[in-house]
Chains A and B, each alone.
Chain A
Amino acid sequence: MTLAPHPSVHGETLKAKVEQATGVKLNHCYQCGKCAAGCPVARDMDLTSCQILRLIQFSNPEWDRQALQSEAIWLCLACETCSTRCPQEVQVPKVMDFLRTEAVRRDIAHPRSKDILAFHRAFMDSVQQTGRLYEIGLVADYKVRSRHFLKDLLLAPRMLVRGKLPLVPHLIQGRDAIKRIFKRTLGVKP
């Protein structure tokens, strides 16, 4: 009987990819749970941070998929409480960042990631166009992308009367250079 080589041998498993991209050693996590204990959004997550790490420690494709499909990876705010307290110095938010891009790449991201992704894409779209964030543009773009047209209708007037919402975007000189930065990194329009 011959055993199929363990998938990690080829360096193509999720675990290998995470470690290669982030420099994090996943086996350093010994499941003490301190990350989840201090996580300000743990109670809203379907899997805690340490459960996510546990799932991807084994290079089991089904467990990898569970981690990638979780809502939890989208709720991480990168507040860095976990990595600050981790006795093994595992940089959990870096792992979460990678898992999000990988979930999108495999097209298996949790349905509730849609709004969050729409926001980040609208944000970066504004930066790609003008070089800086244009807040009205961001909100308008987000509303179109997310179709939440009625959300925060009262917020804009609140901000306008306080002079917090400039109507005209700031355009930087190096806009072409910024567009090339986006092309060389994201590759496509955000």
Chain B
Amino acid sequence: MKIGYYPGCSLLGSSREFDESVRALSRAIGLELVEVPDWNCCGASSAHVLDHKLSLALPARILAQAEAAGLTEVLAPCAACYNRLTSARTELAQDPAAAAEIAAIIELPVTGRVKVVNVLELLDRFQDEIKARTKAPFRRKVACYYGCLLVRPPKVVAYDRPEDPHSMDRLMALAGAEPIEWNFKTECCGAAFSVTRTDLVARMSGRIVADAARHGAEAIVVACPMCHSNLDLRRPEINAQLDAPSQVPVLFITQALGLALGLDPVALGLQRHMVPALALQPAAVGKD
């Protein structure tokens, strides 16, 4: 199977292990990724603060480039990119006048036909492969953390349940993990305030880490680079204000599943984390 691939900017830099693990896992399950030609930034959490049209035009150019390349579906592993692309696609499809205006701005025809899928949605289609290829079951208690952008706003992304999603829990269970019940599955980590209001991020992400730890999580599993960098790169700031500092590691879903499939932890980028995660590698015990 082939699918369009939009890595997004974070996956080339601060979250390159997400890109590495998406590619490694795709190879393992027989999925070919076709990168959207000459893609640009989606506008992330900044364009919409400055100008609404800019926040539509940037993702619209990506959708147009994908359409021109004949792609019908594009995987956007970054939850923020997924959200911006899906929002733009919805708005373009619902409002032909806006679509015409945006097409003139980006100098490319765009219909909003290309479907944008997030990484959980895509992996859901490979449940049989994941189950069949699990060599080293990920026998850990995991807190599946979805954050905001994969499930909200529900009318736009129309993915899973907005308050208590289960898709990631299901995937992790397939790979042998024990997903825990906890309270912060969809709470906000502080997102783009990482640099400007680190105090708020430390508190908001701190509550998430603390709740996961309190419920016995041995790993927090995420599908968003912003969530990852706030929970992982900002751990020193988080721990500085937690009563019980925590070293629970944070893994991308593609890393956790990759480990279960017996892929090389370094190829999955586990050495790049702030909170040590390499020790999570389960012994390959053969399929049971």
Contact = CB atoms under 8 A, between A and B. Distances in A.
Given A41-B200, A142-B195, A166-B12, A124 B46 contact: yes
Interface string A91-110: 10000011011000000000
Interface string A144-176: 001000011001001100111110001011100
A32 interface: no
Given A80-B152, A116-B197, A184-B105, A21 B52 contact: yes
B152 A181 contact: no
A180 B58 CA distance: 11
A186 B148 contact: no
A180 B195 CA distance: 29
Nearest to A161: B272
**Interface majority SS on A: helix, strand, loop or mixed?**
helix
Interface in B234-282: 271-274
Contacts of A172: 38-40
B40 A97 contact: no
Nearest to B234: A155
Interface residues of B, number: 54
A41 B204 CA distance: 9
B47 interface: yes
Contacts of B154: 84
B188 to A, nearest CB: 4
Interface string B26-40: 000000000000111
Interface in A117-155: 117-121, 123-124, 127, 131-133, 135, 139, 142, 146, 151-152, 155
Interface in A53-94: 75, 77-81, 83-84, 89, 91
25 contacts: A77-B45, A79-B191, A80-B148, A81-B148, A84-B152, A84-B154, A98-B52, A101-B50, A101-B51, A116-B49, A119-B196, A120-B50, A120-B192, A124-B50, A131-B38, A132-B12, A132-B39, A132-B40, A142-B195, A164-B15, A172-B39, A173-B38, A177-B61, A182-B54, A184-B105
